[in-house]
Amino acid sequence: MFEFGALWSFTSTTMASLMFLWPMYKQFVPYQLRDYLENTLQKYLDKFFGNDSNFVCIRFPEYTGEGLSKSRAYDEIRNYLSSISTARAKRLKAKESKNSKSLVLSLDDNEEVTVVFQGVKVTWSSTVGTKENNNSFSNEGRYLTLSFDNQHREMITKTYLDHVLREGKEIALKNRERKLYTNNSGSDFSSWREGRWSNVPFIHPATFETLGMDLDKKEEIKKDLIKFTKGKDYYRKVAKPWKRGYLLFGPPGTGKSTMISAIANFLEYDVYDLELTTVKDNAELKKLMLDTKGKSIVVIEDIDCSLELTGQRKKKNEEDEDEEDETKKEAEKLLKKERGEKESKVTLSGLLNAIDGLWSACSDEKIIVFTTNYVDNLDPALIRRGRMDYRIEMSYCRFEAFKVLAKNYLENESHDLYGEIGRLLEEVDISPADVAENLMPKSDEDDADICLRRLVKSLEEEKKKKAESEARRKKKKAEGKEKRGETKQSEKTPRKTVKKI
């Protein structure tokens, strides 16, 4: 009885002291010493209970063994842990993201978090090495440790670690600052310093919601894009590189460039704006393409003006018509030579190879976009299916597109003038850019009513112009007919005379 009482009083005193001392220990003992003490204690306890063979630890140092290069695996695991820690860890570390959009939370140093994966419990801990080796030159500076029961070794080292790295990579892609790249010209001084592409943050605000176009067409495009992004296995199955070509064509100001930004924002892709005229030759073009990363859009704007990509295949009779143009182009070439500018030697076949030659399988998930005002001017080989898989015609502004623009610019969804505007838009070909210009308030006094009236006025003017030009065209045609009639008559007369003779 006495012994039980003594044991009880010893246990309760020890527990009370521990409860009292624990917070002080946590607060006052430096974490390096705590780390050491806890690890040693753990080792003895494991030995005592015969547990030491059951636990496996994998250490992931921040720096790789090779000099100062940062370990990619460490970064990916940290990304993976950031979302888990935010929900579960007691101590977190906050850092401002690169684009300062938000704070990024991660597991604090010397803190741990437990994760259950497929029913198996694993523990991640984040450690800062001891003082002697805690410097930037040491591989032991900071590291993450994964510990788990030995019986799950196979599953954790294969399935779970794969899952962690994949998730980490995806999180990094989501959090990254998106870029707009442009190619440096070969002769540019900066090209060898900065690489083939220069970049700036991509911050264009266009989205599919703000894009004025036929709603069904918009939905169709979005569906196609989503299908593409989920198509990794499909493309592998059909043995095709994971890429898709879009051809955007239509008159100026109909939203082709805006559509590219909307696609980039929708898919969260980078954009490579390729200026073909500054690419020296086919070899450089190939290198540029090889230097692009996945999850990106490679854009060649105004492809019909970029290079003479149709020249070699022109029919004979067209060549005569273009003789005058040729002379002009020759003069321009000479002028360029005099100025020391280099002529691009990229050819159609070079471009075709760069788009879907062997290189295209080198990086995944890439969209190639061509834009043009004159689709008929392009060589059929350049825009055949398989190369340009999806053709999108950006057309003049009709009522549905107008409603989107009115909502964007005026925050207006209905008005008495909508009926009249709808009718006029069916009769007149006006670009969304022109409609947008009319809808944009020019002063603080400009309200929706004033802007819509201004639009009606310019639509009516367009209608009048169209009627006038139609009348002129008809008149010309009639005059032409008349002339031809006269000529024929005058041609016929001598023939008849000849016959008579």
Ligand X SMILES: Nc1ncnc2c1ncn2[C@@H]1O[C@H](COP(=O)(O)OP(=O)(O)OP(=O)(O)O)[C@@H](O)[C@H]1O
Q: What are the distances in angstroms from CA 63 to CA 60, 135, 157?
A: 9, 11, 20
Partner that binds at residue 253, options Mg ion, ligand X, none, CB closer than 5 to 8 Å by kind: ligand X
| CA pair distance 359, 346, nearest whole angstrom | 17
- CA 73 vs. chain centroid, Å, equals 24
Return the number of the residue (82 or 258) whose C-beta is nearest ligand X.
258
* Binding flag, residue 184, Mg ion (CB under 5 A): no
* Binding flag, residue 258, Mg ion (CB under 5 A): no
Binder among 42, 373, 412, 458 for ligand X (CB under 6 A) = 373
Partner that binds at residue 212, options ligand X, Mg ion, none, CB closer than 5 to 8 Å by kind: ligand X
- CA 270 vs. chain centroid, Å, equals 3
Instruction: Please list the alpha-helical segments (H only) found in 72-152.
Output: 72-88
| Minimal distance, residue 398 CB to ligand X, in Å | 11
* Binding flag, residue 147, ligand X (CB under 6 A): no
**Which stretch, 149-157, 235-243, 250-258, 319-327, contacts ligand X (CB under 6 A)?**
250-258
* Binding flag, residue 129, ligand X (CB under 6 A): no
* Binding flag, residue 211, ligand X (CB under 6 A): yes
Partner that binds at residue 152, options ligand X, Mg ion, none, CB closer than 5 to 8 Å by kind: none
Burial 237-259 (b: 16+ CB within 10 A, else e): eeeebbbbbbbbbbbebbbbbbb
Binder among 82, 125, 126, 257 for Mg ion (CB under 5 A) = 257
Binder among 61, 129, 245, 253 for ligand X (CB under 6 A) = 253
| CA pair distance 179, 181, nearest whole angstrom | 6
Tell me how many degrees the CA angle 178-250-439 measures, rounded to the nearest 5: 75
Site track for ligand X across 433-472, x = CB under 6 A: x--x------------------------------------
* Binding flag, residue 168, ligand X (CB under 6 A): no
Tell me how many degrees the CA angle 366-369-375 measures, rounded to the nearest 5: 150
Return the number of the residue (77 or 303) whose C-beta is nearest ligand X.
303
Q: Are the C-beta atoms of 297 and 260 separated by less than 8 Å?
A: yes
H or E element: which one contains 35? Answer: helix 31-48
Which spans of this chain sit near Mg ion (rule: CB under 5 A)? 256-257
Which spans of this chain sit near ligand X (rule: CB under 6 A)? 211-213, 252-258, 373, 394, 401, 405, 432-433, 436
